[in-house]
Amino acid sequence: MSMTSIQTTQTPADPDTKPVLEPKTQAFIDAATPKPTVVLVHGAFADASSWNGVVKVLEKDGYPVVAVANPLRSVMSDAVYVSDILASIKTPVVLVGHSYGGSVISEAVLWWQR
């Protein structure tokens, strides 16, 4: 999957007219391409339910979401746990970590790439 950035190619003379937007590249996201799975990893002193509001918004927009119940044992063991979850996901992944969860996802990606 590739992202497309857009640039304004024409400044409208009429302020009520929207500018014409054209892609900067020829890479387009196909409508048939599945949305990435958003994996949310909470930090210390929290649990997966802390993402409930975020999950609601993402699911409303059609994203598959996994809010990981981070075991909070150590960065390395939590990273292995998260990487096992990542390995089970068959779509592209957007990985999000809050606070301690950021350290966990940084390590989890290294395990996941093995």
Percent of the chain's residues with pLDDT above 90? 67
* Domains in the chain, CATH or no CATH each: 37-112 (3.40.50.1820)
Check: CB of residue 37 under 8 Å from CB of residue 92.
Answer: yes
Kindly give, in sequence order, each residue whose CB lies less than 8 Å from that of residue 85, ignoring residues fewer than 6 positions away: 39, 66, 68
The answer on pLDDT for 36 being more than 80 is yes
pLDDT at 6 over 50: no
Residue 5 or residue 67, greater confidence: 67
**Cα R_g (the chain), whole angstroms:** 19
